[in-house]
Each structure stands twice: as C-alpha cells, then as structure tokens.
Amino acid sequence: GDSVTQMEGPVTLSEEAFLTINCTYTATGYPSLFWYVQYPGEGLQLLLKATKADDKGSNKGFEATYRKETTSFHLEKGSVQVSDSAVYFCALSGGGNNRKLIWGLGTSLAVNP
C-alpha cells in the first residue's frame, strides 16, 4: 500500500542554517504531496503542497519539489529561524477516489539562537 518515509529526528540547527528534511513515498497512481507543521501546543497546519510531478510548493521560505523520478518531496529552507522550531510531517493523498492522508512519522526541528 501507499506509504511515506520521513527522516528521523530530532534535528537541531543553529539559526540561519540550511534545513533539509527528507521525505520519500511509495504510491500507486498520482498522489498529492503535503508538508504539515505542528508548532508547540498548536494543531497541525498545512505548510505547503504539490499536486503533480515537478510542482514546487512554497510557503514561509520553505520549499519542496515533487520528484516523481526519485519519489521524493524533500523539505528545504535556506535560513531557519528559532520560530521554525516545530514538528514537520510529510503526507500523501492517494490519487483517484482515495483521498485518505498517509503520514510520515514526523521530524522534530529545534533551532537554537
């Protein structure tokens, strides 16, 4: 079945460092791909998404490109801030009539000043 594999955390970075959180997937059909973020004490929020191959989702300085050839959707940010400290989840929604979200384990990011 469909699955999402996400790099394990926690990830600890200094402010202004470059961030990459790897995410790969297996799916039949043509899934949509998502990154969600959960800040401390808050609910999950959609960070960005991509619905087809080669699409790039971007928001708040974060980017991820839907790579069908490598079945990946890695999250990147060029310069992280302390306020980016959160848990990041990669997810996919199956193509066709299957819109159930399949989740990665989540990656905790801590950014130190």
Check if the beta carbon of residue 39 is closer than 8 Å to that of residue 89: no
From 1, 70, 100, 113, residue interacting with other proteins (rule: CB under 8 A): 100
**Which range of residues in 21-29, 58-66, 73-81, 97-105 is near other proteins by CB under 8 A?**
97-105
CA distance 89 to 38: 8
First-to-last C-alpha distance (Å) of the chain:
41
Interface of this chain with other proteins, residues 25 to 44, rule: CB under 8 A: 36, 38, 41-44
- Residue 46 lies near other proteins (rule: CB under 8 A): yes
How many other C-beta atoms are found inside a 10 Å radius of the C-beta of residue 12?
Answer: 12
Question: Under the rule (CB under 8 A), what is the footprint of other proteins?
Answer: 4, 36, 38, 41-46, 89, 100-106
